[in-house]
């Protein structure tokens, strides 16, 4: 009997599928099965799965008519026979020792689930950046219990960096909402695992390579306005049906957090309309928020003066887009966390080719990032004199002030704040 059942939901991802399957087959942990659920693919993905299954007996392929991500995942869970359930998205890949390390930790600590960090992965430009919650360093590698539950929600939101004990999922009937499409149905599953786990653990390692350069990913669809809302409607109804009223505040809080993300993700023409949903949600659920929370502050401002907030965001975004798109080159001034954030936003805005380089003032730790050189800012401005510089640190900090002054000394006045980009664009 396999110890881990790895479920791979598949829909029209033939281009990425071999990398994904090969990475699972190359695991150092051997006591597992791979359950691939073909959700009605019509691009040859199903046939490719069958070819892999013929050569690899640990692969089981289930073909079904297209019914959406949630239905595919539930089909895979129902067919699983392992003690633990793992999940790998079909356009991602994993490092070889992922399941061995997760399994050891889960068995040793009798955890309901064990997770780890992931990497933002842009294959086309050879970019890999670890997603790590540094403010939670003291909690990595420790068993967290019910009294620590609030911390669970501070780790990187995902369902695929870990393994879940099958009897834990069955005990609380944790499954996916089955609705058409593949939009945010991981949220309900993730929320349930966070709310019901009695023992959980996050390893201070990263194994999972989360692809960010798949243009067909549902998270990049600007027209799916209410998909997240429907997911939290489903979750709220589920908790009420189960009479788990004490868990509703978690649902309400995360719903409002997702409202803010949805506002920035969707196309500008839908923002005013979606604000009606935000107003309704804020009226119903605001008591679940902390009043000093930055999301609460933004929501409160949005509800108080919806038109002004929408107009300002749309105006600033268009001004920034115009400046970025008309610039000859872009220099990202900052190669740390904020530089990473600005890079990912610019990449998703299809501005990768305009990025001339990253730049730093001193202490250069890398010579290149995402196939772009890391230069000292003096050299960067000499090499790319007509560039727009993005100051990629938090606005208002001491470092920000020093960088701004340094640009002035170099007679560079063509710069914008990276914080402006962060505040007005959606980032994964």
The closest of 340, 326, 359 to 421, measured between CA atoms, is 340
Give me 277's structure tokens. Answer: 């949903």
Give residue 428's pLDDT.
74
The closest of 400, 395, 423 to 316, measured between CA atoms, is 423
Per-residue pLDDT of the chain (428 residues; tens, 9 = 90+): 899 999 999 999 999 999 999 999 999 999 999 999 999 999 999 999 999 999 999 999 999 999 999 999 999 999 999 999 999 999 999 999 999 999 999 999 999 999 999 999 999 999 999 999 999 999 999 999 999 999 999 999 999 999 999 999 999 999 999 987 657 889 999 999 999 999 999 999 999 999 998 876 655 566 689 999 999 999 999 999 999 999 999 999 999 999 999 999 999 999 999 999 999 999 999 999 987 788 999 999 999 999 999 999 999 999 999 999 999 999 999 999 999 999 999 999 999 999 999 999 998 888 999 999 999 999 999 999 999 999 999 999 999 999 999 999 999 999 999 999 999 998 87
Q: Parallel, antiparallel, or unpaired: how do β-strands 59-64 and 32-39 relate?
A: parallel
10 Å CB burial of residue 51 (0-12, 13-18, 19+) is middle
Tokens 């997770």 sit at which residue?
115
Residue 250: C-alpha distances to residues 188, 191, 195, 246 (Å): 12, 8, 8, 9
Give residue 364's pLDDT.
80
Tokens 């429907």 sit at which residue?
230
Give the chain's end-to-end CA distance (angstroms, integer): 38
Contact 92, 210 (CB under 8 A): yes
Half-sphere exposure at residue 159, Cβ-oriented, CA atoms within 13 angstroms = 24
Domains parsed from the chain with CATH numbers: 4-220 (3.90.550.10), 227-304 (no CATH), 323-424 (3.40.50.720)
Contact 353, 296 (CB under 8 A): no
Please state, in angstroms and rounded to a whole number, the distance separating the CA atoms of residues 28 and 115. 17
Contact 2, 82 (CB under 8 A): yes
């Amino acid at each position: 009997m396999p110890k881990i059942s790895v479920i791979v939901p598949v829909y029209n991802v033939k281009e990425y599928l071999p990398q994904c399957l090969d990475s699972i087959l190359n695991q150092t942990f051997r006591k597992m099965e791979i359950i691939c659920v073909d959700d009605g693919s019509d691009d040859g993905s199903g046939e490719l799965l069958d070819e892999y299954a013929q050569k690899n007996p640990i692969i089981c392929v289930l073909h079904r008519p297209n019914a959406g991500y949630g239905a595919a995942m539930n089909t895979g869970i129902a067919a699983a026979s392992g003690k633990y359930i793992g999940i790998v998205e079909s356009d991602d890949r994993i490092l070889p020792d992922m399941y061995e390390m997760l399994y050891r930790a889960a068995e040793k600590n009798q955890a309901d689930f064990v997770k780890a960090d992931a990497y933002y992965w842009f294959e086309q430009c050879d970019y890999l950046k670890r997603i790590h919650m540094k403010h939670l360093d003291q909690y990595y590698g420790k068993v967290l219990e019910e009294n620590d539950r609030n911390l669970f929600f501070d780790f990187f939101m995902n369902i695929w960096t870990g393994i879940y004990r099958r009897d834990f999922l069955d005990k609380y009937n944790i499954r996916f909402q089955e609705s058409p499409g593949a939009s945010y149905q991981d949220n309900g599953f993730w929320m349930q695992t966070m709310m019901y786990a009695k023992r959980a653990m996050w390893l201070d390692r990263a194994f999972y390579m989360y692809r960010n350069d798949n243009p067909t990913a549902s998270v990049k669809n600007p027209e799916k306005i209410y998909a997240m809302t429907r997911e939290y409607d489903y979750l709220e109804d589920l908790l009420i049906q189960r009479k788990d009223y004490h868990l509703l505040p978690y649902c309400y809080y995360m719903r409002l957090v997702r409202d803010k993300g949805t506002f920035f993700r969707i196309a500008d023409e839908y923002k005013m309309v979606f604000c009606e949903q935000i107003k309704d949600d804020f009226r119903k659920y605001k008591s679940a928020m902390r009043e000093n929370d930055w999301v609460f502050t933004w929501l409160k401002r949005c509800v108080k003066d919806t038109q002004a907030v929408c107009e300002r965001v749309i105006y600033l975004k268009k001004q920034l887009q115009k400046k970025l798109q008309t610039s000859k080159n872009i220099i990202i001034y900052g190669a740390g966390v904020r530089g990473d954030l600005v890079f990912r936003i610019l990449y998703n805005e299809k501005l990768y080719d305009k990025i001339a380089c990253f730049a730093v003032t001193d202490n250069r730790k890398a010579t290149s990032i995402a196939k772009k050189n890391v230069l000292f800012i003096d050299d960067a401005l000499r090499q790319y004199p007509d560039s727009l510089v993005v100051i990629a640190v938090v606005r208002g900090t001491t470092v920000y002030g020093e960088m701004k002054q340094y640009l002035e000394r170099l007679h560079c006045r063509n710069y914008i704040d990276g914080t402006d980009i962060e505040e007005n664009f959606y980032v994964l």
